[in-house]
Amino acid sequence: MENYLSISEMAAIHHITRQTLIYYDKIGLFTPACTDENGYRYYTVDQIPFLREICFLKSIGIKLKDIKHHIENRNLTSAISLLEYHKEFVDKEIHKLLQTREFIQQRLSLFSEAQQYECKLDKPIVESFPERYAVFVPFERELCKDELHLTLMKAWNILDEYGVLPSEGFGTLILKDQLSERNVFKGAGVYTLLPHADQSIKNKIILPAGKYVCMYKYGMPYDVKYLRELIEWIDDHGYEIVGDVMDACFLDTTFYENDINVDLCQLQIPVK
C-alpha cells in the first residue's frame, strides 16, 4: 500500500476525522480506493480534489445529500446552479438573522429603559413619543390577570401568523371615552407594538405621535388607583387628555421578586 494514503492520513490532510470519512463511505458520498482484508481503508492522491471539494461545499453549509447528488453528476453547469441556489438560501438566512438581531436590540432597549425606572417611580413626567403601530385585541371578559395573559397570547399569535416577534413591548389600551365612565375598561384590550410601520397585519392600530404624561408604577392595569391619580395630576396642571391611555408593561410576572408581585408598568396618557 505504498502508493496509497491511509484513512488517518487522508483525514489529517483535510482536517477532518477518521469517523467522518467512515461516515462518508457509509452513505456513498466518498468511498476509499480500496479496502484490505483487514477492513482498512486506503485512498489515492487522485481522490484528494474530490474530498477537497466535498469539504468546501460542506463548510459553506450545503447539505451532504445535495453534495452527494452534485458530485455524482458534477459539471460546470451543475456547480454554478448549486452555488447560486445555496447563495439564495444564505441571503434569506442573513435577512432572518438581521431581523432577529433587530428583535434582540428592541428587547434590550426595553429592558435598559426599565433599569432607569427607580428614580421616576410614581412621579408624573412629560415625554414625547413618535407615531407607533401596534396589534390590538380587546378583552372578552372582565379584566383580571388571567384575562390579561390570555388576551396577550391572542395578540402574539397574530404576530406569529406574520412572522413577527413580540420584541417591542406590550400593554393595556384604555379608551379615552371610558375614562369618566364607571366601567373604565369597556372596549379596552391588549396591544403589542410592531417594529415597523409598513407591516400589513390584521388588528393594526396607530398610536399617535405627541406629548404624553407618563408615570412608572408597580401595579396591574386593572388597578385604577394610579390611573386616577395621574388623570388628577393632568387636570391640576392644565393639560387636556386627547387620546387613549396606554398602560405599558416593562417587567412582567417573570421578573417578580419576593416583595413585589405586580408588573412594573408605565402609564402613558396623550395630552395637549
The DSSP result for 142-176, as a single string, is --SHHHHHHHHHHHHHHHHHTT----S-EEEEE-G
Q: What is the pTM of this model?
A: 0.70
Neighbours of 198 (CB within 10 A): 6
44, 23 contact by CB (below 8 A): no
Nine cell digits for residue 241: 387628555
Over residues 249-271, mean pLDDT: 84
Quick one: the chain helix, strand, coil %, rounded to 5? 45, 20, 35
| Mean pLDDT, residues 150-178 | 92
Specify the number of domains making up the chain.
Answer: 2
Other Cβ atoms less than 10 A from the Cβ of 134: the count is: 22
256 with 146, same domain: the answer is: yes
63: CATH:
1.10.1660.10
Does the pLDDT of residue 246 top 80, yes or no?
A: yes
Quickly tell me which residue has 366601567 as its cell: 183
Dig out the grid coordinates for 269 from the structure. Answer: 396618557
**Cβ neighbours of residue 231 closer than 8 Å, sequence gap 6 or more:** 179, 241, 269
**Terminal Cα-to-Cα distance of the chain (whole angstroms):** 90
What's the mean pLDDT when you consider all of the chain?
A: 92
Domain with 128 in it: what CATH number?
3.20.80.10
Statement: residue 261 has pLDDT above 80? no
The answer to whether residues 48 and 175 belong to one domain is no
Structural domain contains residue 93: no
For residues 59 and 136, give the distance between their C-alpha atoms in angstroms, rounded to a whole number: 45
Q: What is the mean pLDDT of residues 131-144?
A: 95
In this predicted structure, the answer to whether residue 258 has a pLDDT above a threshold of 70 is: no
The tens digit of pLDDT for each residue in 23-46 reads: 999 999 999 999 998 999 999 999
CA distance 86 to 92: 10
Structure confidence at residue 260 (pLDDT): 65
In this model, does residue 17 exceed pLDDT 90? yes
Residues 12 and 130 both lie in one domain? no
Q: Do 165 and 36 fall within a single domain?
A: no
Top-confidence residue, 190 or 250: 190
Specify whether 129 is located in the same domain as 229: yes
Range of the domain at 209: 119-270
Whether residue 20 lies inside any domain: the answer is yes
d(CA 225, CA 215): 12
Q: Is residue 154 part of a domain?
A: yes
For residue range 168-219, list pLDDT tens digits in order.
889 999 999 999 999 999 999 999 999 887 778 999 999 999 999 999 999 8
Rounded to an integer, what distance in angstroms lies between the CA atom of residue 193 and that of residue 171? 9
